[in-house]
Every structure is written in C-alpha cells, then in structure tokens.
Structure 1
Amino acid sequence: MNNQPSNTAILVFAQTAQADAVHKSIAYHQKLMAELNGHVLKTVRKSGLDYFHITESDQHGDSFGARFSNAIQSVFEKGYEQVICVGNDTPQLTTLHIFTAVDSLATGHAVNGPSIDGGYYLMGIHAHEFDAGSFESLPWQTENLATAYRELQEDIGIISDNLEPLMDLDSASDLYQFVKGKDSRKCLINIIKHIFDENSQVYATQSDRIYQIVFSSPLNKGSPTALAA
C-alpha cells in the first residue's frame, strides 16, 4: 500500500525497555523488551503512515487509562481524524494488520484487534467517536477490557470490525505459551536471535523454563520448528 491516507496516524503507546523492566515480569531480560520495541517500530515504519511513539516520558495521567486516553487525544489534536493504537508486546503484529485497519477506518468503522488474554493489541479509533472520559474509565489491564469496550461501542453506536486474535507477551508464562504455538515460534525466534550469538546457551531454573525451551540449542542453526515442546 503506497498511498497512505494523510488523516490517519499510528500511536505506538509503549514504554522504553528500561521502564518495562520495572513493570513486567517478562522484562527481566531488558534486551528482549528492546527487541520487541524495535520490532513494532520497524513494522509501523513499513506501513508508511505517520506515527508517534509515546513513551513514559511523554505520558501524562494518574492511571493507565488516563495516560492512554491523553496520548490518543494528543494525536487527534495534531489534526488526524483516525488513530491506530498499538503496543510493543505483540510480536505477530504485521503491516497487513495495519493496512486492514486502515481499510476498515476508511469505511467509517472502528477496528478492534483482540488479544487472547481479553485485551487489545490494536485499536482503530475515529476522532468524532472518541469519548475520552468513557475510554479512560474502561477496566484497563484486566481480562474484562474487551467485553467492556465492546459494550461501550454498542452504547455509543460505533460499528467495529475485528481483526484476528493474537497473543501478547506480558509475563514469562505468556512467553512460554507463545513459543509452544507452531505458528508463533519463527516470529519470536527471529526477534530474540538478535540478542544472543550463535554459541549462547541459557540454562533455565524452574521459574525460567521458557529459556530452556527457547535457547536449548543455537538460535541461528536449523529450523525454528525443531524447538517444539
């Protein structure tokens, strides 16, 4: 897609790897979070859309909902009529998801990209349908978010299109489940193999079993499917 709409922008609402290391258990490996940040930014740049990466230094508000709502509003205040919101914890996010969201927004529909855990990895929002107060009050960072957001959209009369569900990575347990998925493994390996050289061996403790699965053999030799649990 070469000719992107000038009235649509992407909001990457994601903390730096250093900040994520404080708030997410998965982020005990800061290099992994840095690679995930790099992955989403590369994907966003490939879309050709204007984008804004709002990290903790630019976020304002006393809660996650307030900070997210304020970030979205700041993009609308720049003159954009649609915003596509993404985070840094969904390695399977591709430009196809973004282009599909652009097409749906062009029809006047909102876009929901649901996460398997009950949240969202992508939200496509029109400025004229954005109610900052209601948005801020949603049960953010809980498994009830998707249900509450759909109910809010229905109450307002918003028509939305759904993207395929994807898995996001918030904990070591999420990472373990992600690696077990046959369609997910190559994506993750391609990201994290940049972190370690070909001779790296990571020995897992009971609490870090994910590392045993991912790094039990050199990352750049053989097919990723060989790591199936």
Structure 2
Amino acid sequence: MGKKDKKENKKRRDESPAPEDGKKCRFCRFPLLVAVLQLLLGVSVTAVAFLMLAFSPSLLARETPHWAGIILCFISIVGFILYCITYLPDERTSMQFIGKLLYFILCTIGLVISVLVIAFAGHHYAQTSSFICEPEGGDCVCKLDDTDPIARTFTFGGVSDCKEFPDTLTLYYLIQIVLNLAQALVCAVGAFIMWKHRYQVFFAGLQIGSPSSQQWQKV
C-alpha cells in the first residue's frame, strides 16, 4: 500500500494544472494586460517625442526620448510572445524559462530607462520654465537670465512662434514626465509579478502527513 500511495502522490505532483475556465477574463491574464499597457505607453512616448522634434529640430536626443518608447514597444512584444507560450509547471520547457527570464530583465531595463527619462525631462522642465526667448535671424534664442550678458544661451531653430515656445516646450516635458512615470510603474509591476511568481512561493522540502497520505508543505 505504501508504494502505491507514493506513486499516486508523485503522479498528482507531476500532473499539469487544470485548464483555466473559459469564462474568466483572458485579457487580465499575466502578462497580457501589462504588455498592452507597455505597448500603449511606448507608442505614446514615441509620438510625443516626434512631435517635440517636429516642433523644433534643434532638440537633442535626451530631450526627445523616442528611443525610450521604442524600447518599451519591444518589451511589450516579448510580453505578447510569453503570453502565447503554453504554461507548464516548474518551467519544464526551455522556451518558457528563457521567455520569463528575458521579460524580467527587459522590464527591469525599461524601469531604469523610464527613471532616466524622468530625470532628464524634469531637469529640462525646470530649466525651460525660466527661459526668456527672443526671435533672432529666424531662430529662437533663449536665456535663463536676460540681464546677465554672459548667461548661457540656447538656440532653437525651426520655431514659428518664439513667444509661445517656452510654454509649449514645458508642456511637452510635463507630458513626458507623466507618461514615463506610468511607464516605470508598469515595468516595475511586470518585473515584480514575474519575480513573485518565480520565487515567493517555493517548496521547503518538508514532508508531512499520515503514513497513508503525504504532501509537500508550501512556505
């Protein structure tokens, strides 16, 4: 009887979990919802960055973080691929393990990039809000202190309305801060859920129960 019970318990542990109920919200299943949010935010960040670049081609790459949005779109694609991979307990396929590991690393990288963009955008927002701009030879020349003759000047080309330029630019920076903050939170949630799913619940290796039935204790 003891050998038979051991075989039955081992068989139960090896069995895959029952298929999910078809009535449940498949859209809420991880990582589909996170990947969709990452894609929407990535497209939004990229679109705002290119609008800023069209507003003034003189803006630098750190001021128009389209690269951050493109990277997040790539991360969301990895999330969609991971969603399509058939789930097996204990990560019995190399594809599933590689997908989870890659998605966790990319979400962490996306979090770092988003924080970096927030830092750049916050600095430029504080700087641009103090600009005093005047048109000069078809360009827009801005200074932080109009009374200082040796103050640093910033020249922006292709600006149609120099007077409204500082307000419009600060609005763009504020939108980038909000979008990248949301982007950072989504990436943090994705990395946390992936880590929690992989490491928070584990078998302690303690076997308890009566001689007729045995089970593994979860910690």
TM bucket by the smaller chain? Answer: under 0.3
TM-score, normalising length from structure 2? 0.22
Structure showing greater relative contact order (alpha-carbon pairs closer than 8 Å, 6 or more residues apart): 2
From the CA coordinates, give the structure whose radius of gyration is larger.
2
